[in-house]
Chains A and B, each alone.
Chain A
Amino acid sequence: MRVCCFTSLTLAYAARAMVLAETLRQAHPGWTIVAVLVDRPGNGPAPLPGFDEVVSVNDLDIPGLPGWLFKHDVVEACTAVKGAMMCRLLAGPYDAVIYLDPDIAVFNPLEEVEAALANADIVLTPHQTTPNTPTAAIKDNELGSLLYGTYNLGFIAVRNGPTGKAFAAWWASMLHRACYDEPEAGLFTDQRYIDLVPGLFDGVRVLRHPGCNVASWNLSTRHVTITADGAILVNGEPLRFFHFTKAGSIGDLMMDRNAGDNVEAFELLAWYKRRLHHYGQALVPAPWAYGHFTNGVPIPREARRLFRARRDLMAYFADPFDAGLHESYYGWLHAEHPGMLADSAAIAAA
């Protein structure tokens, strides 16, 4: 099976993506590994060791790219391009295309995924595969899934065929319309849409293997063990891939709450941080290219939300990143909503 696996990232996640590529290559040396870079590298495509190809967001044929990108914060933007990238790769020579978040590390070959793709067009992994009993865990999991989506879109696998292509086209169109972090509006980037997939498409396989998409949020029901013969197991099954969501920040706290006495899970986290340090040493920290106006002032979240809520603004300001004082969104904000820019300008000045 010719498989292409891709991820989507900004340069801030380069070290994570390198760990993904390193571990994926160890497990599947024959797969093609591609990245879509939602950032603006200084000189040409950013070098990402381990990847066969790095595609710039500029190469995805997204109409009105600057205005469209401006509507998204960094997480939204990296997510919003996944559908378009999936379509692009399904037009290629691959039998299947798999998306993995850049903060995933692969530990064993994804055998169950490959097996599922033999019979299914779309393979999904739920956030949780076992009911929780403690209220605290239910809050973190069951209620969380209802709010943010049943399936974790750190992973999705699509077989290259009519159904897979139809799914990808639908997914890409939805993400192009609205890939926003607005749970109050029933949206959480690309995840809530996927709740509709079992109803919209045939050939959907929900993969409930405990070793797939292990993450801080589901460690309340998944127990990591490391055996004397060197295997890493989750609930007695081989660990396939671990999703180190927000490692080093809120993800660590979530592990504290859910992993508790499972020290082995923290060993994996410690290893992951060491690998990040290893790759990160060679990287120069760079702010997200689409995180600020051309004058360096950070773009406030409210400015993005206002922009994407107003069709007139979108129609008038083709490049809302432009910070000229005349005929620019920045100038308009400065005049109409000066308070919205005040904090950002102070940050830029500092």
Chain B
Amino acid sequence: MSKRGLRTEATRLPRHGAGQGTATLPSATGMVVQGGALPPPAPWTPDEGLHLRPLGLSPAEQAIRSLIEPAFDVQYYLLTNQDVFAAGIDPLDHYVRSGRLEGRRPAHWFDPAFYQKAYPDAAASGHDPFAHYILYGRAEACPTSRINGPARQALGLIRAPATCRPGGQLDTILHLHPLVLVEDLRGRLVDAGALTVSISHDQYMQSVGDIQNLIGSEQAAFNARGEGYLHLAPAVPLTTLATDEPGKLYLHVTLNGGYLGATTAAELLDALAALSPDLPHRRRLVVHCLFGHSVHVVAALHEVLAHPDLQPPEAVFWTHDYHSVCVGYALLRNDIAFCGAPPPGSLACRVCIYGEERPAHVAAVRYLFDAIPFRIAAPSAVALALWLRHAGLPHRSAEVVDVLRLDPTAIRLRMEGAPGRGSPGRPVCVAFVGHPAPHKGWDAFRQIASELSQSGFYRLLHLSSSGDQDLGGVVHVPVRVSPDQPDAMATALAAVGADLVLVLSPWPETFCIAASEALAAGADVLTLECSGNVAKLVQRTGRGQVFATADDLAAFLASAEGVRYVRARHSAGAEVGRIQLLGATAAMPPDDLPVSPAPSARGVMADHA
């Protein structure tokens, strides 16, 4: 990457009460930075100052041109059709000559394919759809594009969680011999200062994701204190609770970050019971995620950790999502809209894909909370408020626990001329970060990508661990964030020069490391009002824009507004920084509430016998 023309103002940002100062640091992109004044942004729009070559239309084509000219969006056409822009062809001439026959959009608000489908008489008329709209459809106020397309598309794909269980047999797993399990645990735990048993939905050392990284930081923090950390993940991944009996429920066992193997829940409970007298006296159960776990096994786990002569083991339940409120853990009704957690059995639940399974799920979760007096740990105030309002579950206490901190590294970047960030001639780099899932807004991103994929003014990227969702016009950048490389995503975002990161989550995210990673990399965040903690972060930092709907956000990008915004943003400078994961449960203050007898989970196993 060229260093020419780059000037950077370096400013030490306030940090934990520190005084003002300056620093000259290598930026995250590896560019040398130095102080200086900010220049005014140069004007820039796709059609500004261009000399566009006419095609010489026939009289018939000229008639069409005259008809549609007032409604044709020149800037949009150039923005979304790089070949036309690069060839320097008059965009309206191009549309009349060939674009309309190729199904290209003449404006963001007009989708020829939709119009033809909605109005078969338009197709039969012989007019091209846009001309038909000008002649007839506009006067009749015909809709011109499918609104909420991603949501409509998602509706066609939703499946009830119970139908998503993997079939067949387990993959080959290392089944620990019970004696080996006991000896492994004994050997590494007897001298530990305390024991934390944590459960989540997958093996945090192998999988990639926000929760996995938090667990990694939690394990590291506890280990650093000389405490033992035993993690349990289901061998069969589910998004529901498991209903298998303990003898048939396989769990992956990881001890202090090292994978031991798989065992049945029954064998694990037996091993812990046998070891109980020798285990550290201070014991803790931490639930990060219940996917794939049996509430009966978790309750029994808490009971087996209890020592008759000691205080009951501390139990922490994290609200990383809303799985304790509904089997649809994101509270996305039909995977498209935040539902607000209405009462089970309501009409909203009846028409929701998760509604049928919710009553049984909620009853099972209730059983667990009746059995264990949990401390509720919420990764944000948004998550805590929502959980307290809707879960209706008994708990010992509830608090917000910060899981990460964005440490500014005291750099402000600004550009002076091409080809740096925000420069004319340099495409605006728009990135989607992480798993391409509906609850992360992937469908909305896909729609945006389909419209902007041929634009020379935007460069679309998808940064994630796997690139199995191939999108035309979107470059996949493989990035693997792991406990030993927590900054990998922020570093990658900076390296590719991301200007904007789209966080399109249609539900109130409890936390979202991707948004913080964007800020750390010097990118701004475009998000939605309903994104919970993300919208709050953008509003608090002023680093981005919050839109009412995904369609509004798409329109922002499809106009030159997105480009202008980035130019203005970079001319003002963008802070970069470093993300610190704080250790999750290890960052919680000691539980100083008076001890009350834990509700007994005795008989739990008998229920399953």
Contact = CB atoms under 8 A, between A and B. Distances in A.
B16 interface: no
Interface stretch (B5-13, B80-88, B336-344): B336-344
B349 A230 contact: yes
Interface stretch (A202-210, A264-272, A331-339): A264-272
Given A261-B147, A270-B155, A271-B350, A228 B339 contact: yes
Nearest to A256: B118
A136 B346 contact: no
Contact of B137 (A108, A136, A270): A136
Nearest to A238: B347
Contact of A263 (B119, B143, B148): B148
B147 A230 contact: no
Given A227-B348, A253-B117, A136 B158 contact: no
Interface string B98-142: 000000000000000010011100000000000000000101111
Contacts of A253: 117-118
B142 A232 contact: no
Interface in B338-389: 339-343, 346-353
Interface in A222-247: 226-232, 239
Nearest to B343: A230
B336 A226 contact: no
Nearest to A226: B348
Contacts of B351: 226, 232, 267-268, 271
A270 B348 contact: no
A260 interface: yes
B225 interface: no
A261 B140 CA distance: 17
B280 to A, nearest CB: 45
A136 B336 contact: no
Given A228-B339, A229-B342, A256-B118, A136 B140 contact: yes
B110 to A, nearest CB: 14
B605 interface: no
Contact of A230 (B117, B139, B336, B347): B347
Contacts of A136: 137, 140-142
A264 B155 CA distance: 10
Contact of A227 (B117, B147, B156, B342): B342
Interface in B542-581: none
Nearest to B152: A266
Contact of B148 (A239, A261, A271): A261
Contact of B118 (A107, A139, A231, A257): A257
A281 interface: no
Interface in A63-120: 107-108
A137 interface: yes
Contacts of B141: 133-137
B153 to A, nearest CB: 11
Interface in A242-290: 253, 256-257, 260-261, 263-264, 266-268, 270-271, 274
B143 to A, nearest CB: 5
A23 to B, nearest CB: 9
B342 A228 contact: yes
Given A135-B139, A256-B146, A257-B118, A231 B347 contact: yes
B510 interface: no
Given A134-B141, A270-B158, A263 B337 contact: yes
A135 B135 CA distance: 13
Interface string B151-195: 110011010000000000000000000000000000000000000
Interface centre among B343, B346, B349 (most CB of A within 10 A): B346
A270 B146 contact: no
Interface centre among B148, B158, B347 (most CB of A within 10 A): B347
A134 B140 contact: yes
Given A230-B343, A231-B347, A260 B143 contact: yes
B436 to A, nearest CB: 21
B219 interface: no
B334 interface: yes
B333 interface: yes
A164 to B, nearest CB: 31
Contacts of B352: 267, 271
Nearest to B155: A270
Interface in B289-347: 333-334, 336-337, 339-343, 346-347
A290 to B, nearest CB: 31
Given A263-B148, A263-B337, A267-B336, A139 B140 contact: yes
Contact of B336 (A227, A228, A256, A263): A263
Interface centre among B118, B346, B351 (most CB of A within 10 A): B351
A230 B117 CA distance: 34
A256 B114 CA distance: 9
B346 A229 contact: yes
A111 to B, nearest CB: 15
B334 A267 contact: yes
Nearest to B549: A261
Nearest to B143: A260
A274 to B, nearest CB: 8
Contacts of B334: 267, 270-271
B346 A230 contact: yes
Interface centre among A107, A230, A256, A267 (most CB of B within 10 A): A230
Contact of B347 (A108, A263, A266): A108
Contacts of B137: 136
Contacts of B147: 260-261
Given A133-B141, A134-B141, A267-B333, A231 B117 contact: no
Contacts of A231: 342, 346-348
A108 B152 CA distance: 25
A232 B348 contact: yes
Contact of A267 (B114, B146, B155, B346): B155
A300 B70 CA distance: 50
A316 to B, nearest CB: 42
Contacts of B142: 134, 136, 257
Interface centre among B119, B148, B343 (most CB of A within 10 A): B148
A26 B140 CA distance: 41
A270 B159 CA distance: 11
Contacts of A261: 147-148
Give the 8 A-B residue pairs with the shortest CB-CB distance, closest first: A230-B346, A228-B340, A230-B342, A134-B141, A135-B140, A136-B140, A261-B147, A271-B351
6 contacts: A134-B140, A228-B340, A231-B347, A232-B348, A239-B347, A270-B334
Interface of B: 114, 117-119, 137, 139-143, 146-148, 151-152, 155-156, 158, 333-334, 336-337, 339-343, 346-353
Given A228-B341, A256-B117, A257-B118, 20 more contacts: A133-B141, A135-B140, A226-B339, A226-B348, A227-B340, A229-B342, A230-B347, A231-B347, A232-B348, A256-B143, A260-B147, A263-B337, A264-B337, A266-B151, A266-B152, A267-B155, A270-B156, A270-B158, A270-B334, A274-B353
Interface of A: 107-108, 133-137, 139, 226-232, 239, 253, 256-257, 260-261, 263-264, 266-268, 270-271, 274
